[in-house]
């Protein structure tokens, strides 16, 4: 990975769909994942192994995995897991990479996972041991790494210690998640730049929501801090069912456009990405769609005039 290479993980089929009123079928979820992959997005979070009672949209994620496997799907996939049971389900479904969620605040740990921060840490350490035996990669995502809707600002030292602890324990990557879209670019820079210097860009990622129009500003601040891995969501689908005030993730549409125009390599074909975005909007009926589409259409208008 060169300094101009940025790796996008589209989390729309998980973080996006879990917040939609409309619940998609397994076939529709597979169709969306394939459309995102066809645009060249290098990694896709295809679902989560959570309680179907808590998050009905993520029921039958094992069928999404098996359907993709039967079709010889080649793009690396990720499954989000909330606990040990989720890990076992993901492993049994054939997941090669799992994302386990840690928390920057007690309030969010309780609301989102019904555990204390320490309990999620202990479970993640157990999962890391098993995953090593099972040959499964583990991404540790720190939710509310910047601000929590219940507990307020997250201390930088809390996050810094979590990052060091879990990379040392063998996590393949740690993702800093602005779960509710409350971070500002200065805060992003202050948290990320020292972490990149200490651990290297390969080991770190960022996950931003565009709740307050600051999504791409935070991406830019993270880029300037050396971060080269980002989560984003096709068509800006997203939110968090347990985090008041959270709206859509940064749209893959928008981040891919910005990165391309800034000369970064993402491997993404913008025109094919717009097709995936159209599909996400058609399937859900509610996706905001990012802004890239209107822009690219405006461009076409311009070239015709």
Contact footprint for a second copy (CB under 8 A): 149-150, 181, 184-187, 210-217, 219-221, 224, 244-245, 247, 251, 254, 257-258, 261-263, 290-292, 294-295, 298-299, 301-302, 305
**Smallest distance, Å, CB 184 to a second copy?**
4
**Smallest distance, Å, CB 190 to a second copy?**
10
Smaller CB distance to a second copy: residue 70 or 301? 301
**Smallest distance, Å, CB 220 to a second copy?**
4
Find the helix packing angle between 252-261 and 292-304, rounded to 10°.
Answer: 60
Smaller CB distance to a second copy: residue 166 or 220? 220
For residue 53, give every residue at least 6 positions away whose Cβ sits within 8 Å of its Cβ, in sequence order, or none: none
Give the residue numbers annotated as catalytic, written as ranges: 240
């Amino acid at each position: 990975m060169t300094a101009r290479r940025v790796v996008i993980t589209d989390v729309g089929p998980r973080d996006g769909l879990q917040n939609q009123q409309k619940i998609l079928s397994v076939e529709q979820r597979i169709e969306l994942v394939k459309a995102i992959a066809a645009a060249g997005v290098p990694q896709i979070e295809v679902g989560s192994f959570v309680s179907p009672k808590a998050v009905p949209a993520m029921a039958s994620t094992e069928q999404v995995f098996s359907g993709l496997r039967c079709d010889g799907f080649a793009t690396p996939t990720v499954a989000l897991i909330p606990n040990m049971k989720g890990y076992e389900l993901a492993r049994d479904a054939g997941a090669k990479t799992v994302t386990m969620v840690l928390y920057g605040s007690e309030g969010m740990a309780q609301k989102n996972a019904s555990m204390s921060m320490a309990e999620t840490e202990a479970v993640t350490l157990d999962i890391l041991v098993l995953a090593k035996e099972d040959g499964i990669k583990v991404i540790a995502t720190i939710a509310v790494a910047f601000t929590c809707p219940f507990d307020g600002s997250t201390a930088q030292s809390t996050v810094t210690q979590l990052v060091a602890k879990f990379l040392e324990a063998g996590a393949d990557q740690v993702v800093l998640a602005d779960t509710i879209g409350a971070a500002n670019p200065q805060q992003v820079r202050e948290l990320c730049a020292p972490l990149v210097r200490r651990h290297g860009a390969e080991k770190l990622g960022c996950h931003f929501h565009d709740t307050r129009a600051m999504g791409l500003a935070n991406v830019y601040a993270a880029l300037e801090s050396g971060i080269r891995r980002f989560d984003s969501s096709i068509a800006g689908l997203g939110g968090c069912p347990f985090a008041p005030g959270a709206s859509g993730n940064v749209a893959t549409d928008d981040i891919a456009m910005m990165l391309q125009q800034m000369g970064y390599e993402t491997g993404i074909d913008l025109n094919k990405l717009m097709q995936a975005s159209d599909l996400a909007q058609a399937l859900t009926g509610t996706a905001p769609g990012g802004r890239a589409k209107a822009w690219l259409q405006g461009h076409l208008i311009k070239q015709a005039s």
